[in-house]
Amino acid sequence: MKEPLPFDHRPDTALGDALRGVLDPGDAAPFVARVLARAEQVRVLSWDAVLARWARPGVAAALVVSLTAGYLVGRATAAPPAAVRPTVADILIAPPAHPGEVEVVLASVIGNN
Amino acid sequence: MADLQPPPQAARIAQQDEADLVARAVAGEREAFGILVERYAGVARRVARAVLGNPEDADDAAQDAMLSALVKLEQYDPRRPFGPWLLRIVANAATDRRRRRAVRRVEPLDVGLTAGGPRPDTTAERRALSERLRQALAELPERRRIAVVLFDVEGYSHAEIAPILGIPEGTVRSEVFHARRRLRVLLADWKEEG
């Protein structure tokens, strides 16, 4: 047999056929069916993985949303904040809400005299 | 050099066709993935068997590779041919499995690989030749084995094999050359003996 050329780019059909015979895997149909059946399981598993991957941030996000919503609702329904308590000076300086009637004031002044 | 020529029209059409199939498979179309599996089942199993020898292990590795490819389909670049991309995954899966197997157990040498034994009839002769070839193939370094199978059995070019094995094209040429030389000697001896 002739020594092959080092840069021979053509396939050697005799050798190729002999090797093909050695490596022949037989009927492809059962193999294909097996792969496709497993592929279905992989798809299901990958969906599960996607859901699992999203589950943790999803739960965290839901928790944050519910806490925020609770806070906002609670704040809206709670009593308004208590008014700032006036100091003594404020009370003394501030004009009375219902000034006394002039006749009563005068009568009391006259009565004293 | 044939390797440097642009791909023929048929190859370009096939490449486009496969890019479409991959896109459809990524979109969840089972039939598209089925076509790809059918198309590459033979070569994937042969490459895996070239690495592993044992047909059952080879089929398991080829299956793992197909499923791994399904998971990674979105990473496939449709501008490149699909076959080499897939076969790289197959070769890696087979190599990984062989390494794990080597750790797990020490394989006994195949029996019945005796060279030059009695050959009572043609069927037995063919079987014996197959066994000798299988043994010779198993004795080659793994990369050389895959290279010669991809080149002489599957018809891939040196340029296409290079990315599959992750080595330069010149190294592929060298690997194919040395593998052929060893295997051709075996075939020639057999013919002369017959």
For domain B121-194, which CATH number applies: 1.10.10.10, 3.20.20.70, 2.130.10.10, 3.30.1330.10? 1.10.10.10
Do residue A15 and residue B187 have CB atoms under 8 angstroms apart?
yes
How far is residue B69's CA from residue B47's CA, in Å, rounded to a whole number?
A: 15
Yes or no: say if A15 and B183 are a contact pair by the CB < 8 Å rule.
yes
- Are the Cβ atoms of A12 and B180 closer than 8 angstroms? yes
Residue of A nearest to B48 (CA): A23
Give me B5's structure tokens. Answer: 């020529």
Return contacts of A71-80, CB within 8 angstroms, 24+ apart: none
Contacts of B191 in chain A (CB under 8 A): 1
Distance from CA of A76 to the nearest CA of B (A): 47
Tell me the H-state helices in chain A. Answer: 13-23, 29-77, 88-93, 102-112
ipTM of this complex: 0.77
Q: Which residues contact B93 (CB under 8 A, 6 or more apart)?
A: B48, B61, B62, B64, B65, B68
Instruction: Determine whether the interchain pair A39/B66 forms a contact, defined as Cβ–Cβ distance below 8 Å.
Output: yes
Look at domain B1-107 and name its CATH class.
Answer: mainly alpha
Please write the tens of the pLDDT for every residue from B3-55.
444 445 556 666 778 899 999 999 989 899 999 999 999 999 999 999 998 89
User: Mutating which of A15, A23, A24 best tests the B interface, going by the most B Cβ atoms within 10 A?
Assistant: A23
Mean pLDDT in runs of 10 for chain A (113 residues)?
A: 60 89 90 93 67 74 88 78 71 70 60 59
- Bigger pLDDT: B7 or B57? B57
Q: What pLDDT score was predicted for residue B176? A: 95
The answer to whether B168 faces chain A, any CB pair under 8 Å, is no
Nearest residue of B to residue A23, measured between CA atoms: B46
Q: Parse chain B into domains and list their residue ranges.
A: 1-107, 121-194
Q: Provide the number of CB pairs (under 8 Å) joining chain A to chain B.
A: 114
